[in-house]
Amino acid sequence: MSDWPRDIPFPGSPRVLSPFCSNSIAVAIGSLGAPAGATNWPVANRAFYVPVRITSPFTVDRVFWINGSVVGGNVDVGIYSFDGTRLISSGAIVQSGINVIQISNVANTLIGPGLYYLAVSLSSTTGRLSKSVPTQYQAVGLGMLEQDTANPLPAVATFAALSAAPHLALFGMLDGTVI
C-alpha cells in the first residue's frame, strides 16, 4: 500500500465531490461513457441521492451542475448525512445557459469523514442535466435512491428505492480551500 496521501488536489485547485469522484459509485460501476444529457428529467421535483464516502475533512463552499441542451426549471443540489438529514442545500436555483457548468455559492460548511448522500433535484420534466446512464440494477446495487416531491430538497430525506433507470447527473460540490 502506498504512503501517497489521498484527497490532496494540485496546489491552488479546489477538491471536487461528485458522483464521478473516486469516493463515489461511478468508480464501482465502471466506465459509463460520455455524458448522455439529451433526455428530460424523468419526473418533476424528483431528487436522486448518490452515496459518497468522504475520507478527509471537506469544506463545501460551492455547488455545481452541468446543464443539458434544454433548460427549464429549478435545480437544487445538496448533501445529506447517511441517516437523511440535509446538511447543505443550494436552494432552488433557475437553470441558466445550455450545455454549461452552473455554479452557486453556499455557506461554507465543514463536512467530516464518513458516509453521505449527494442529492440533486429538478423542478420540471423539460429541463435537462448532463448525465451518464448506469442501469437500474447497477445503481440500486450501489445504493442510489430517489424521492418524489423534493424540489427544493427537504430538510429530512424520505429515501425510496429507484423506480426506473436513474438519472446520474453530472453535479457536485467544491472545496475551495487552497493548500
Q: What is the torsion angle, in degrees rounded to the nearest 10, for the CA atoms of residue 150, residue 146, residue 128 and residue 119?
A: 70
What is the DSSP secondary structure assignment for residue 24, as one 8-state letter? B
Could you tell me if residue 84 is inside a domain? yes
Q: Give the pLDDT of residue 38.
A: 58
Could you tell me if residue 37 is inside a domain? yes
Could you tell me if residue 24 is inside a domain? yes
- Grid coordinates representing 25 are 459509485
- Grid coordinates representing 103 are 455554479
Could you tell me if residue 9 is inside a domain? no
Q: Give the pLDDT of residue 19.
A: 86
Could you tell me if residue 179 is inside a domain? no
Q: Which residues sit opposite 47 in a β-bridge?
A: 121, 147
Q: Which residues contact 32 (CB under 8 A, 6 or more apart)?
A: 26, 132, 133, 134, 168
Query: How many angstroms separate the CA atoms of 130 and 122, rounded?
Result: 12
Q: What angle do CA 63, 10, 51 make, to 5 degrees?
A: 40
Could you tell me if residue 20 is inside a domain? yes
Query: How many angstroms separate the CA atoms of 21 and 44, rounded?
Result: 27
Domain enclosing residue 41, as ranges? 15-168
Split into its structural domains, the chain has a count of 1
Q: What angle do CA 45, 50, 53 make, to 5 degrees?
A: 150
Domain CATH code at residue 92: 2.60.120
Q: Give the pLDDT of residue 179.
A: 46
| Average pLDDT along the chain, 179 residues, taken 10 residues at a time | 47 73 68 59 94 91 93 96 97 95 95 95 93 80 92 98 86 78
Query: How many angstroms separate the CA atoms of 83 and 169, rounded?
Result: 22
Could you tell me if residue 8 is inside a domain? no
The model's pTM is 0.88
Could you tell me if residue 6 is inside a domain? no
Q: Give the pLDDT of residue 177.
A: 63
